[in-house]
Structure 1
Amino acid sequence: MAIKVEIISHEMIKPSSPTPTHLRNLKLSFLDQIAPPIYVPLIFFYNHHQLTLQNLTHHQISQLLKQSLSKTLTVFYPLAGRIHENSSIDCNDSGAEFIEARVHTRALSEILQEPSMEELKKLQPVEILGQDEKVVLKVKICFFDCGGISVAICLSHKIADGTSLVAFVNAWAASSRGEPQNFRPSFDFASVFPPRDLSGLDFTQRIGMTEERIATKRLVFDKEELAKLRNSESSQVKNPTRVEAVSSYIWRRFMDAAKDRGGGTETASFAAVHAVNLRPRKSPPFPQHMFGNCWRPAIAVMSGAEGSDEGELVGKLRAAITRIDGDFIRQVENGEYLNVLSRSVDLFMKGGVEFCNFSSWCRFPVYEVDFGWGKPVWVCTTALPFKNLVILMSTPCGEGIEAWVNVVEEDG
Structure 2
Amino acid sequence: MKVEVEVISKEIITPSSPTPAHFRHYQLSSFDQLAPPVYNPLVLFYEFNDKTVPNITEISSHLKKSLAEVLTVFYPLAGRIKHDDWLVDCNDEGIPYLEAHVNCKLSDFLKNPIPDQLSKFMPFELDDHIGKELVLGVQLSIFECGGFAIGQCISHRLADGSSYFMFSKTWAAIAHGESNIEHPDFLSATRFPLKDVMAYDPSTEISRNKVTKRFLFSASMIEALRAKYGESAVGIEENQKRPSRVDALTAFIWSRYMANTNKITGPHDEKLYRIAHAVNLRPRFDPPLPQHSFGNIYRGATSGPLLSTGDACSAYGRAMREVREEINKIDNDCVKGLQQGAEQSGLPFNENTGRLTELELVTLGFSSYCRFPVYDNDFGWGRPAWVFSTPLTFKNVATFMDTKEGDGIEVYISLEEQLMAKFETDAEFLAPMCLQVGAEEPFGC
State the TM-score, normalized to the length of structure 1: 0.92
Shifted more, 377-386 versus 239-248: the winner is 377-386
Name the structure 2 match of 1:36: 36
Q: Secondary structure at the match of 2:372?
A: coil
2:312 pairs, out of 295, 308, 312, with 308
1:373 pairs, out of 371, 381, 384, with 381
Asked whether the equivalents of residues 37 and 130 of structure 1 are also in contact (C-alpha less than 8 Å), the reply is no
- Aligned-partner Cα distance in 2 for 1:212–1:299: 24
- Aligned-partner Cα distance in 1 for 2:185–2:261: 43
Distance of aligned partners of 1:347 and 1:401 in 2 relative to their CA distance in 1, 3 Å threshold: farther
Q: What is the Cα-based RMSD across aligned positions, in Å?
A: 2.5
2:316 counterpart of 1:318: no
Name the structure 2 match of 1:297: 300
Shifted more, 207-216 versus 61-70: the winner is 207-216
Name the structure 1 match of 2:437: none
1:311-350 counterparts in 2 under 5 A?
311-337=317-343
Q: Deviations over 1:199-252 (max 9, x none)?
A: xxx353426423342201111111001101111221343221111111111111
How far is 1:319 from its partner?
A: 2.8
How far is 1:262 from its partner?
A: 1.9
2:135 counterpart of 1:136: yes
Name the structure 1 match of 2:176: 177
- Aligned-partner Cα distance in 1 for 2:389–2:195: 31
Matched AA of 1:191: T
2:133 counterpart of 1:125: no
Name the structure 1 match of 2:210: 214
Query: Which runs of structure 1 show a deviation greater than 4 angstroms over 4 or more consecutive aligned residues?
Result: 263-267, 310-313, 338-351
- Aligned-partner Cα distance in 2 for 1:283–1:262: 47
Distance of aligned partners of 1:178 and 1:59 in 2 relative to their CA distance in 1, 3 Å threshold: same
Name the structure 2 match of 1:402: 410
Q: Deviations over 1:304-348 (max 9, x none)?
A: 245321444443433332232223212211101258679899998
- Report sequence identity in percent: 39
Name the structure 2 match of 1:226: 222
Q: Secondary structure at the match of 2:108?
A: helix
Q: Secondary structure at the match of 2:232?
A: coil
Distance of aligned partners of 1:346 and 1:311 in 2 relative to their CA distance in 1, 3 Å threshold: closer
Asked whether the equivalents of residues 272 and 359 of structure 2 are also in contact (C-alpha less than 8 Å), the reply is no
Name the structure 2 match of 1:27: 27
Q: Secondary structure at the match of 1:37?
A: coil
How far is 1:156 from its partner?
A: 0.4
- Aligned-partner Cα distance in 1 for 2:267–2:88: 43
- Aligned-partner Cα distance in 2 for 1:92–1:260: 53
1:272-287 counterparts in 2 under 5 A?
272-287=275-290
Q: Secondary structure at the match of 1:185?
A: coil
Give the aligned length: 406
Name the structure 2 match of 1:4: 4
- Aligned-partner Cα distance in 2 for 1:368–1:23: 30
1:47-86 counterparts in 2 under 5 A?
47-49=47-49, 53=51, 55-85=53-83
Shifted more, 322-331 versus 213-222: the winner is 322-331
2:244 counterpart of 1:238: no
Name the structure 1 match of 2:271: 268
Distance of aligned partners of 1:324 and 1:351 in 2 relative to their CA distance in 1, 3 Å threshold: farther
Asked whether the equivalents of residues 210 and 417 of structure 2 are also in contact (C-alpha less than 8 Å), the reply is yes
Shifted more, 167-176 versus 256-265: the winner is 256-265
Asked whether the equivalents of residues 13 and 95 of structure 1 are also in contact (C-alpha less than 8 Å), the reply is yes
Asked whether the equivalents of residues 284 and 332 of structure 2 are also in contact (C-alpha less than 8 Å), the reply is yes
Asked whether the equivalents of residues 54 and 373 of structure 1 are also in contact (C-alpha less than 8 Å), the reply is no
Shifted more, 302-311 versus 58-67: the winner is 302-311
- Aligned-partner Cα distance in 1 for 2:254–2:388: 22
Name the structure 2 match of 1:196: 195
Asked whether the equivalents of residues 302 and 347 of structure 2 are also in contact (C-alpha less than 8 Å), the reply is no
- Aligned-partner Cα distance in 1 for 2:164–2:345: 29
Name the structure 1 match of 2:395: 387
Distance of aligned partners of 1:314 and 1:185 in 2 relative to their CA distance in 1, 3 Å threshold: same
Shifted more, 319-328 versus 186-195: the winner is 319-328
Q: Deviations over 1:152-190 (max 9, x none)?
A: 111000000010101110100011011125211111110
How far is 1:15 from its partner?
A: 0.4
Shifted more, 205-214 versus 57-66: the winner is 205-214
Shifted more, 356-365 versus 124-133: the winner is 124-133
Matched AA of 2:80: R
Name the structure 2 match of 1:110: 108
Name the structure 2 match of 1:15: 15
Matched AA of 1:74: T
Q: Deviations over 1:326-384 (max 9, x none)?
A: 23212211101258679899998986211000110112110000000100111012552
- Aligned-partner Cα distance in 1 for 2:202–2:78: 24
Query: Is there any run of 5+ residues in structure 2 with no aligned partner, and where?
Result: 235-239, 421-445
- Aligned-partner Cα distance in 1 for 2:356–2:415: 17
Matched AA of 1:213: N
How far is 1:9 from its partner?
A: 1.1
Name the structure 1 match of 2:166: 167
Matched AA of 2:79: G
Matched AA of 2:271: A
State the TM-score, normalized to the length of structure 2: 0.85
